[in-house]
């Protein structure tokens, strides 16, 4: 499983901590930046490539983890990428719910309001929780996909 990472200065430390955890747990990681702390950087510059990496994986086996101060801005940016279904989680239950019901493929984590330990647990739950494929959930995802495609 490949995990794409993206952040900004507000999520840089969180991204680096999550990256270390992912590598220690044998995940394939692609870090889309930033690669140094820069208080003037902008999350779209790093979140767009991370979300694109997820959305362009033909196997559908890639995920993204993104971070900024709140997690919200990064999620808004990621959701502009066709095929990305990004959510912001605040605990393990919300991370699991996003996978089970929404088949989310990008997880937004707050760099300010989550500890690294909390984020690691959310990421683990997100990556290891399968989508149910239940008809009503798939129907909703299909509607989103159709809208994205202008149908």
Tens of pLDDT, residues 11-39: 999 999 999 999 999 999 999 999 999 99
Residues with active-site annotation: 68
For 103, the 3-state DSSP assignment is coil
Residue 150: pLDDT above 80? yes
Task: Report, as an integer, the average pLDDT of 105-128.
Answer: 98
**CATH number of the domain within which 27 lies:** 3.40.1400.10
pLDDT tens for residues 123-140? 999 999 999 999 999 999
- Total number of domains in the chain: 1
The tally of CA atoms less than 13 A away on the side-chain side of residue 41 is 22
The predicted structure's pLDDT at residue 151:
75
């Amino acid at each position: 499983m490949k995990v794409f990472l993206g952040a900004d200065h507000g999520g840089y430390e969180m991204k680096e901590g999550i990256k270390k955890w992912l590598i220690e747990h044998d995940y394939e990681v692609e870090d889309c930046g930033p690669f140094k702390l820069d208080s003037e950087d902008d999350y779209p510059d790093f979140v767009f490539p991370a979300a694109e990496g997820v959305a362009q994986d033909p196997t559908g086996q890639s995920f993204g983890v993104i971070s900024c101060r709140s997690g919200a801005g990064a999620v808004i940016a990621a959701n502009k990428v066709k095929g990305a279904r990004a959510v912001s989680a605040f605990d393990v239950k919300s991370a699991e719910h996003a996978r089970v019901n929404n088949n989310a493929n990008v997880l937004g984590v707050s760099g300010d309001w989550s500890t690294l330990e909390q984020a690691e647990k959310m990421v683990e739950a997100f990556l290891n929780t399968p989508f149910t494929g239940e008809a009503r959930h798939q129907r909703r995802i299909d509607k989103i996909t159709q809208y994205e495609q202008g149908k």
